Structure 1
């Protein structure tokens, strides 16, 4: 694996030409990995994966209590890693300035950005609350765009660093009953892949991660727990998805669909005619009044996934 990572690093840096002034500007500072939405779920799993490498990591989230608990657990388990936590809403327009101030106060600069913060919203589009819809767009779309645009130029000047943006399997298809969420993830995937093409070979990793269902609370928040989609698709553990995502990011991949089952689903969705895809997804995503057997955990494919997916 070390050999693959070295090969990936050489490939990512094949055209790199760092600006000496940009390198000198951060010479006295410590590189840090900033993870947004890091208090729980995939964000915390990624933070744990990064902290175990002894990196300096900054955890950002809105929930103070949960974030503090997450940071304390990382400090206890990975004492070599410098763990910093701060409550911050990345949807605010001054978020980059606040992040810069936080980093400067600890003698750090942002080397790797993990845009994980996101909001789910489910239901008929015309029934959605406008304030919640605005919040979703601000967090899932505007914040990702703003932070990426702000931190990417100095990374390119230094010829190193990276940005990991969390998309979803939802990015590959329209999503009736979760239309804004699916659309936001399609935007993240498209934006990240395009930027990755622009930065190819410059030494900066730009990667979109498109995970399938993960064992988190987001499905209940989106009113998606009682759907055929949840009955058919098995959930993956956040730890496993984080391990695959981080390894793929370090290897320099641009679009990553972690897991065999998830990769097959992504391929199938892209190959399916749109006239068939849309009604199928609509049927799978529509919330049911009655409980769908196995909807809570994807029981119907759980046995298959255990055979195909190594622990």
Structure 2
């Protein structure tokens, strides 16, 4: 009887052990073309990846340029670095213009003027970590594009003259901006610059949802704008959290602005939280928006 119990236990432990070994610790893209150095230009459709960190010291140009459609770049949590170029860099981390079905995911992008810049096409920018980029972390334009699940930390402080706007995320056109963290956008000293957590423009029927924005710092006569829709109508702003601090909001600041005029169709809000407006700045917590339910603005 004891031997039978022992054998049964060994069978169960063996099965559990086999199950554990068969479960991967993390998903990884391995069937891909490895990008081994930068700068590089992609001209053939397919799946590209990093299997190691890559870095450069680019004063201009782009580390990775996508010059074709139907491309996926998966960095497998590796870094595309450019800190060695310093705050005066004018370079871009990953660049695409007028391309369709281009996806960038799982990348660490560090030390560029713009971390990811993908314009006038159809793009997905997902699950990346961008830090120490000196003006804008992510800039995407093109109907049907999406910016989702990215972590953006310590953007700003460019050494280039004449720069007055700084962005965690800048979306143009009908771009959805969902579940991103923006922590720290700082206008350069002496710039009179404005710090945007999320800025959208010409967005119609878009969604800005589940984002967290905090630690924005203007310079001089600039402003702090948590989520700012420059123009567009019929947009939805849902379950975002914006934390404003250091003296509350002033006349040019905003927690969330739905659009450039007071039309109801500029945007509908649901379940957003704006903190730290200051008693005198509560009116700037939500601007040109129609509140449906659950929105909370607190001066503290």
**Alignment TM-score > 0.5, same fold:** no
Please report the TM-score for the alignment, with normalisation by the length of structure 2.
0.26
Tell which has more relative contact order, 1 or 2 (C-alpha 8 A, sep 6+). 1
**Structure with the higher helix share, 1 or 2:** 1
